[in-house]
Amino acid sequence: MTTRVALVTGGTGGIGTAICRYLATQGHKVATNYRDEGKARAWQDAQKKAGFDFALAKGDVADAATAEAMVREVERQLGPVDILINNAGITRDTTFHKMSATQWQDVISTNLGSCFNVTRPVIDGMRERKWGRIVQISSINGQKGQYGQANYAAAKAGMHGFTISLAQENAKFGITVNTVSPGYVGTDMVMAVPEDVRNKIVAQIPVGRLGDPDEIAFAVGFFVDDRARWITGANLAINGGQYMGW
Ligand code: CAA
Ligand code: NAP
């Protein structure tokens, strides 16, 4: 296994932490971004105690200038980025007729704008080196839509449109671009859904429970593996059977 440099955005969150850890166990050097330094350093220390050494770079993925600075800082600390996991994301759930322009724009900028902001500074280097792995963390709700998530579903569906275009443009450069679409996973994001609503959602999952972040990280690791070199433009749904469209 070749050691590569991986940047996982939103690595301090529930799914992001699992992805960082999984990639580290695969022998990669892993970095993530932060906005709040104190929170990030506490996270870094906790990971260190668990045996993981992750690099940190300041950057807001919704902002092109700071996202580029973040990529350059990761390169300075670890070297050129070979693996990019566009994972950072937020929700601002509300029915569309109540949605403010800010609730729309924040979700589009963070969840979809980030794909441009973070991928643009790494793509030239991947093309020059003729190797790269880019994975978008989309969502079941980008595939099927969700009551109260017009902003989120639009951004998450857009992420896969981004994937399949980038996959075509970069296939000849040894770069694969894929999407992982998780269903409901037990992180802070899902725990913020009102309990009664959440219980109704869990009742719709054939496997009968929320997903575990490690179950998402495993799929990301699959796409990143050297042997996955002929898999590009794919969307892998991991949702306990809640949505089986194809
Ligand atoms: N289908 C049909 N009707 C629904 C519904 C649904 N899925 N959800 C809510 N409703 C109905 C309610 O029954 C209620 O009906 P009545 O008025 O007839 O009583 C009505 O909608 C409430 O509408 P409001 O506009 O008043 O909505 P609200 O302010 O009460 O909040 C909501 C609605 C924000 C959508 C809330 O139901 C909610 O948080 N839903 C969960 C949304 C969700 O799944 N978010 C996922 C977050 S995690 C994540 O995003 C990760 C991931 O990728 C999976
Ligand atoms: P989470 O625990 O809330 O973590 C979100 C992470 O994103 C945090 O590290 C957060 O950092 C970071 N982030 C948010 N906005 C950012 C910004 N503007 N710039 C930089 N970093 C930012 O969420 P999660 O459940 O792990 O979700 C991770 C990804 O999976 C998201 O894209 C989400 O949409 C997607 N997803 C989640 C589920 C699920 O069920 N949990 C299902 C499908 C898809 P801060 O600490 O600075 O806020």
207-237: pLDDT as tens digits:
999 999 999 999 999 999 999 999 999 999 9
What is the pLDDT averaged over residues 130-155?
98
Cα 72 to ligand 1 centre (Å) = 40
Is residue 152 part of the annotated active site? The answer reads yes
Q: CA 39, CA 36: separation in Å to the nearest integer?
A: 6
Residue 239 lies in a domain: no
Residue 37 lies in a domain: yes
pLDDT in tens, 86-139: 999 999 999 999 999 999 999 999 999 999 999 999 999 999 999 999 999 999
Residue 83 lies in a domain: yes
What is the pLDDT averaged over residues 162-186?
98
Written as one letter, the residue type at 236 is L
Any bridge partners for residue 240, and if so which? none
Judged by its nearest atom, the ligand closest to the C-alpha of residue 42 is 2
Give the pLDDT of residue 246. Answer: 66
Helix (H) or strand (E) holding 182: strand 175-182
Tell me the residue range of the domain where 67 lies. Answer: 5-234
pLDDT in tens, 39-96: 999 999 999 999 999 999 999 999 999 999 999 999 999 999 999 999 999 999 999 9
Residue 242 lies in a domain: no
Residue 243 lies in a domain: no
The domain tally of the chain equals 1
Cα 223 to ligand 1 centre (Å) = 33
Identify the active-site residue in 22, 152, 184, 243: 152
Within 13 Å and on the Cβ side, how many CA atoms surround 183? 22
Helix 37-49 × helix 14-25 angle, to 10°: 40
* CA angle at 25 for the pair 19 and 27, rounded to the nearest 5°: 110
Residue 113 lies in a domain: yes
Please report which residue ranges of the chain form alpha helices under DSSP H: 14-25, 37-49, 64-78, 101-107, 114-129, 140-144, 150-170, 188-191, 195-202, 213-224
Residue 29 lies in a domain: yes
Give the pLDDT of residue 219. Answer: 98
Q: Is 35 in the pocket of ligand 2 (CB under 6 A)?
A: yes
- pTM for the model stands at 0.98
Task: Please report, for the domain that includes residue 123, its CATH number.
Answer: 3.40.50.720
Cα 159 to ligand 1 centre (Å) = 23
Judged by its nearest atom, the ligand closest to the C-alpha of residue 149 is 1
Give the pLDDT of residue 245. Answer: 82
Residue 54 lies in a domain: yes
